[in-house]
Structure 1
Amino acid sequence: MRNFPLKILHSYVLLSVVVFLFVQGLKYCEIIAPNWVFNHLNDFLVIPMVAMLGLHTTWFIKKDKSIRIDLFTILSLVVLYSVVFEYYLPKQSYRYTGDVWDVVCYALGGIVFYVLQKFE
């Protein structure tokens, strides 16, 4: 991680992955947790994780680690996730439910990513 810029953002995303795996472990072991943990926490964490993957892919392709993801791209990612997971998939399968709070969580995750990538 020493070679990458954005150490605060990288640390946040690494922590997000750990928390995501922990929540999945709770589900797998059928351990009871507050509703917001199973219903909204992963939605808050997903946009920074996906955006970081996209940022690393861009760095790899362009060979330029000074590139940052702009607000329009992050907003597009939030809209894409919102439409697919909160509108389209609930109509296709009973497993998915549309929830406006999930959209709020996607947006907050996008804001966190955008703000943290401003810090070196």
Structure 2
Amino acid sequence: MIRRLPLKWLHLYVLLSLGVFLYVQGLKYVSGIDNSWVFHHLNDFLTIPIVATLCLWGVWLVKKDFGICLNIFTILSLVALFSIFFEYYLPQQSHRYTSDIWDVVCYFLGGFIFWSLQKLG
């Protein structure tokens, strides 16, 4: 087991992100409000750091090396995957999904936050 969790700032950010996500979802459920920037873009902003951290944990588990970090190409690939799937493919398949360039911007900003916190150590 890990005695000291590496990338403590990244993990703190992800825990706070999960807390904010759960709070906003609870607020959305309780109040019924669904027409706000927060409800439309916050999840997209929080998604990449959370998913990338889970991917990083998977790499650590497989490689047994907690010094490994995701490179910029991997992070940008994750941003591109989410952008293409959620902003291009799904809107063509269902009217429930809409394409929005601001969601892509939020994915990219989330990827930048992940990369920055990972570099910070």
Aligned to 1:52: 53
Aligned to 2:99: 98
Q: What secondary structure is seen at the aligned counterpart in 2 of 1:118?
A: helix
Output aligned runs, 1:1-120, within 5 Å.
3-32=4-33, 35-120=36-121
Pairs aligned (count): 120
2: CA distance, partners of 1:2 / 1:24 = 33
TM-score between the two structures when normalised by the length of structure 1: 0.94
* 20-29 vs 76-85, greater mean Cα deviation: 20-29
2: CA distance, partners of 1:33 / 1:92 = 22
Identity %, equivalent residues: 62
TM-score between the two structures when normalised by the length of structure 2: 0.93
Which runs of 5 or more structure 1 residues have no equivalent in the other structure?
A: none
Q: What secondary structure is seen at the aligned counterpart in 1 of 2:5?
A: coil
Task: Find runs of 4+ consecutive structure 1 residues off by over 2 angstroms.
Answer: 30-34
Q: Deviation digits for residues 12-39 of structure 1, max 9, x if unmatched?
A: 0000111111111122213437711111
2: CA distance, partners of 1:88 / 1:9 = 30
Q: Deviation digits for residues 22-70 of structure 1, max 9, x if unmatched?
A: 1111222134377111110010000000000000010011000000000
Letter matched to residue 113 of structure 1: F
